[in-house]
Structure 1
């Protein structure tokens, strides 16, 4: 179980850090207002569009990746063990 926790934590921290960097570049108007949560630029160039797409993809990868390793995989292991005990 420690292995799954470490993998989930690694995904959460690395993808979360990359999300914060991209959000700081593209969705921070000024340091006096709400940082990382401002609306994205209305007409970004090609690299801006890729960056905004990556920002959204990394956010969901961080959330779903951590939940997969912390919740889904342990539940599947427990279900597999319960079915193996029941079948034997």
Structure 2
């Protein structure tokens, strides 16, 4: 169980950190404006578009990875153990 917890924590920490960096670069219009949750740039270049796609992918990887290792896998293991008995 500790192994699954650490995998979920590592996924949430690493992808969350990279998501925060990318969101800080592309979604923070100013210090006193909305930070990390502002609108995407209106006309991104090719590299900015790739970075925005990576940012969205990392967000969902952070959420789904943690849920998978903290909820889905332990629940599946518990269900398999109960069905075996």
Please give the TM-score of this superposition, normalised by the length of structure 2: 0.98
Unaligned residue ranges in structure 1 (runs of 5+): none
Counterpart of 1:25? 25
Counterpart of 1:49? 49
Name which one, 1 or 2, has greater alpha-carbon Rg.
1
In the TM superposition, residue 34 of structure 1 has moved relative to its aligned partner by 1.3
CA RMSD of aligned residues (A): 0.5
Counterpart of 2:4? 4
Count of aligned pairs: 85
Q: Distance in 2 between matches of 1:53 and 1:77?
A: 33
Counterpart of 1:78? 78
User: Deviations along 1:31-59, whole A, 9 cap, x unmatched?
Assistant: 11111011000110000000000000000
4+ long deviations beyond 2 Å: none
Q: Distance in 1 between matches of 2:31 and 2:52?
A: 20
Q: Distance in 2 between matches of 1:19 and 1:53?
A: 11
Unaligned residue ranges in structure 2 (runs of 5+): none
